[in-house]
Structure 1
């Protein structure tokens, strides 16, 4: 199992954004319903939590939260106590302990990006953290122009289609893809998911 715990950064300065992120995660969940074990909820204060069955979905959601630039994210993996409760808040187990440990570390100033993985395989967790933080840095630094292209580049639209939709040249689309490191980020996501699986003890090197 994979437990995502996210805590809002500087909420006293920016106001409570929990309802806003809950709505965004629920929209995301509609496309990942088969991977949702326990739906997202506010747990305490300005913190939200949910439980997922897939490492790939955990990476995807973690990076979505990084895009918002307002959240510290902990991804905990490992066993959970069965049967699970009716909600994440009512559940417990190793994965929840690791998620708490991860989000507390993610809040620290020493991390290059506020997302951390923790799991029973410590070396796997450190490797997963390193790559996920690298991807998070790419996502957090992407410009609005880069996101315009990234959001349209869904595997169905061609660069020509995107150019027409945005009213720019195909060359400009290609330049945005390169400068936003869209291809590099997307190709590395499955590797991050594999490392997250390793952190859970599910894959051995």
Structure 2
């Protein structure tokens, strides 16, 4: 399983974002949820996911938002799983605890822990993607998200009220197509690692 533990940054200086985080991350995770995001303690939330694509989507959103540290633990969980996410046990939960602690000081605010030789490589790819997503301008992100929905550059240009050339430049500046390909690679790497650590 994939266990995601998210910790709000600077909660003592700002308001409690847990309610917003629960709604946002649950929506992003979609159907890939075994146990939903739930407050575990203070300003921390946790979920158990089944789909690597959902994991990557949530982690990159958290990185771009900039207000969360995201720790991913990959491995077995004790079965049967309790209904309450925070009552879960097993290596994946322990790894997520390690990962979120490291994520607070890691590039992009994300980290991944697993008992697998490729865990460090997966973490490096996720951190690179997180840094790129965090640094992308709003215009590049908006254009990319519309492209991801299946729109053409001409349709995106019409919706945003800019030229098609401006859309193309925004996508190029934000390395949108390159990062989407690398995100697909991250999903494949996670799926392979998950298969091997839970076999």
TM-score, normalised to structure 1, is 0.91
Q: How does 1:129-144 map to 2 (within 5 A)?
A: 129-144=123-138
Comparing 146-155 and 90-99, the one that deviates more: 146-155
1:25 equivalent in structure 2: 25
CA contact (8 A) 1:4 1:51 kept: yes
CA contact (8 A) 1:113 1:133 kept: yes
> Which of 101, 104, 122 is the aligned partner of 2:101?
104
Secondary structure at 1:103's aligned position in 2? Answer: helix
How far is the alpha carbon of 1:200 from its aligned partner?
Answer: 3.4
CA contact (8 A) 1:85 1:91 kept: yes
Q: How does 1:62-141 map to 2 (within 5 A)?
A: 62-108=59-105, 111-121=106-116, 123-141=117-135
CA contact (8 A) 2:70 2:100 kept: yes
2:169 equivalent in structure 1: 175
CA contact (8 A) 1:125 1:195 kept: no
Q: Which blocks of at least 5 consecutive residues in structure 2 are unaligned?
A: none
How far is the alpha carbon of 1:201 from its aligned partner?
Answer: 5.5
Secondary structure at 2:4's aligned position in 1? Answer: strand
TM-score, normalised to structure 2, is 0.94
CA contact (8 A) 1:120 1:199 kept: no
CA contact (8 A) 2:28 2:57 kept: no
How far is the alpha carbon of 1:27 from its aligned partner?
Answer: 2.3
- Number of aligned pairs? 197
> Which of 14, 34, 39 is the aligned partner of 1:37?
34
1:50 equivalent in structure 2: 47
Task: Check if 1:156 corresponds to 2:150.
Answer: yes
> Which of 177, 183, 188 is the aligned partner of 2:182?
188
How far is the alpha carbon of 1:198 from its aligned partner?
Answer: 4.2
CA contact (8 A) 2:16 2:43 kept: yes
Q: Which blocks of at least 5 consecutive residues in structure 1 are unaligned?
A: none
